[in-house]
Amino acid sequence: MTDRRPLSATLALIALAASPALAQDRDNYKEIERLRTCRDVVDEMTTVKEGVPLDFLNKAECVIVIPGVKKAAIGIGGRLGWGAAVCRSHNGQGPWGAPLMMSLKGGSIGLQIGGQSSDFVLLVMDPKGIDHLLGSKFALGADASIAAGPVGRNVEAATDVSMHAEILSYSRSRGIFAGISLEGASLAQDKKANLAIYGERLTSRDILLNPHRDIPKAAIGLVDALERLSPVSK
């Protein structure tokens, strides 16, 4: 009879070696899916006429993508979303770097009936905007100036006004409302998600300003999409 013990032992060792990676993928599923969705949003919102103009993307220091921002309630609404920020390395002149996982929270006042889910792409146009990302939290409109980004035929006409803002915002609504300004909302580092993606506790500075930081496997699609769309800052 053939001795199958060596084969069984080999299979057991393979399963044992693979199980931590599989378990880690399961634990990080939400973060992995978040980064994949960010990639899809970047692709889709830069390929439509009324989306993010590549001229502005080429001038951006960083891109913040927050897909599926939820807004609900009647009278006073709130926003809640999770995404990622990616900056160009080497003081804005190099390739896109590793992503910083982020959360967006904030309230809005006005007539709101029902719920809404919107995708947001924020372009950080001023180097000072990176300083805000290096902090633990900052408010849009208070700590960092923000304006609705020009789209389509309005790009040239709105350029001078828009360029005074540190951040330009673009939205794609999936619900029943038109886009509403993000002023008053706050952006913060999602420390739990960053730990899950990088496997260690890192500061926003460790991630955004280290040109040698490896791109996590889950974020390669997002970073590659930005490199393909805007490989060089202008």
Query: Do the domain assignments include residue 14?
Result: no
pTM of structure:
0.81
Residue 142 lies in a domain: yes
**Listed residue (115, 78, 85) closest to 103, CA to CA:** 85
pLDDT (0 to 100) of residue 73: 56
pLDDT along the chain (234 residues), means of 10: 51 46 59 96 86 89 92 61 94 90 76 65 90 90 86 56 79 56 87 95 94 94 96 73
What is the count of structural domains for the chain? 1
Going by DSSP bridges, is the β-strand pair 62-72/116-124 parallel, antiparallel, or unpaired?
Answer: antiparallel
DSSP bridge pairs for 86: 63
> What would the pLDDT profile of 7-30 be if each residue is shown by its tens digit?
555 554 444 444 444 444 555 889
Q: Which domain holds residue 109?
A: 29-229
Report the pLDDT value the prediction gives residue 114, as an integer from 0 to 100.
Answer: 52
In a domain, 72, yes or no: yes
Answer yes or no: is 234 within a domain.
no
In the sheet with 76-87, reading across from the earlier edge strand, the strands are 137-139, 186-189, 100-109, 76-87, 62-72, 116-124, 167-173, 146-148
Q: Give me the pLDDT at residue 102, please.
A: 96
* 166 domain-assigned: yes
Predicted pLDDT at 222: 97
Query: Could you tell me if residue 13 is inside a domain?
Result: no
Is 18 domain-assigned? no
Residue length of the chain: 234
